[in-house]
Structure 1
Amino acid sequence: MSTLKPIVVWGHDMGPNPLKVHIVLEELDIPFDYKIISFSDMKKEPFLSINPNGRVPAIEDPNTGVTIWESGPILEYIIDQYDKENKLSYDTLAEKYQIKQWIAFQISGQGPYYGQAVWFSRVHHEKLPSAIERYTKEMERVRSVLELHLSRSPSGWLVGDKMTVADLAWVMWEQIGTLILLFQDIHLEGKYPHYDAWYKKLLERPTVRKVLLSRTKSLRESGLAPDAPDPF
C-alpha cells in the first residue's frame, strides 16, 4: 500500500459514519487524509459538488478518480478495491453477499433508529417520552436480531469464521447505543450474551480503541455529551 496516494475522507470528529470508514482504512493500512468539515460547510459548495446530499462521509480516491458518498457503498468500495487478500472479506459467493446483507441492515436498521434515539433523548428541544421509548425499543430490537444470529454462529462473528467489514460496520453506532441506554439508566448487560461477547471482541481491536477514544474526547469537549463515560 506504500505506493498509494492517500484517500481523502470527508467527515467530522463526532459522528459515527465517517469513523466507520476511518476504522476500516486503518485495519487495511490504507493511507488516508481525514478532512473535518463543519456542518454549515456541508450544505454549500464546494462540498455539494462532492456530495449533493450535504452529509458525511464522502471519499475522493486519487488512485482511481472515484468519488463516493454514503458509508455503506464507501465500505464496499474500499473492500472491493483494496482488500485483495480478503483480510476483512471473502471472495466466495455466499459470504460476499452475506457481508453486503449485514452492511445493508446496519445502514437501514441500526443507524437510522439509533440516530433518532440520540436526537429525541439528547438533542431535541422538547422531551417526547413516546418518541424516546419508541426508538429505545427499536435499539433493543436490533440487538435482539444480532443476538439471535450470533447465537447460531460457531465463530461468534456475523459472517464466516473471522471478523469482517460486516462486523466493523456496526461498532460505532453500537457505542452510541450503549451511551444512550446508559443515559436513560437502562442496563442490558447479560440479556444478550452472544451480542456482549461479539461487541467485547470488537472493542479489543486496536483500531476500534483508537477511534473510540478520540470520539469520546470530542463528545466531552463539544458539550454534546460532557458526561460521556469511557468507551471500554
Structure 2
Amino acid sequence: MSWIFASIVSAVFGAGIMWLILKRKIEWRSRLAADLEIRVRDLEKQIHLNETAFLAKKNEAEHSRLEDEKKIRSVVFQDGYEHGLTEGRKDHLVEIANLKADFRENIGKVRDDAAQQARNELKLEYEARSAVFSVRIDPYVKIEKDAGIIFTTHNTFTGYQYQLLINGIPAFKPHVIVQHSEEIKDVDQARVDQLITIAQNLANTAAQTYLGSAPEKAVIYGSEVVKRVTKNKAPVADGS
C-alpha cells in the first residue's frame, strides 16, 4: 500500500512538475509571440514609412520632371514664338522693301512721264513761238570812200545785219555787226565780190549761232546788203 501511495504521490508530483514546465513553455511562447507581433508591427510600420517616403520622393521626382518638361516646352515655345516673330519681321521688311521698290518705280515712271509731257509742251510752245518770231540775217558790206586832196582811200566794213521779225513783219530796225574792216586804195567789182563772200561766211556762222537747237525756219537767210558812203559829203543813211 505504501508503495502504491508513493507511486501515486510520485505521479502527482511528476504531473505537477510537467504542468509547471508546460506552463513556463506556454508563457515563454506567449512572450515570444508578443515580441514577434511587436517586431512585425514595427516592421510593418517601417515598411509603411518607407513606402510613404518612396511615394513622396516619387511624387517629388514626377513634379520635378513635369516642371522641367514645362520649362522645356516654355523655352521651345518662346524660341518658336521669337523665330516666328523674326520670320514675320523679315517677311514684313521684305514686303516693305517691295512696296518701296514699287513706289520708287511708280514715282520714277510718273516723273518720267511728267518730264516727257513737259518737254513735249515746251517743244510745242517753242515751235509755236518760233513760228511767230524769226530772225533775218543778211551779209553786210559797207564801203566808205574818203576823198582827200591828193589821195582817195576806202574803208571797208564787212559782217552781217540781223532783224527780228514777228510773223514775217520787221519788229525793229536792223542791227549791224561789223567783224572785219580794212583800208584799201581802189575798189572794183572783183574786190566788192570778195567782200561779199567774206560777209556771206560771217552771216552763215552767225546764223548757225543764232539757230542753235531752234527750227531752221526760225532763221531766215537774206541777200547781201552793200552800202557805199562818201565822206566829206552828206552820208547815205544805212540803218546802222
Fold-level similarity (TM above 0.5): no
Q: Between Structure 1 and Structure 2, whose CA radius of gyration is higher?
A: 2
TM-score (norm 1): 0.18
TM-score (norm 2): 0.18
Whose helix proportion is higher, 1 or 2? 2
Whose strand proportion is higher, 1 or 2? 2
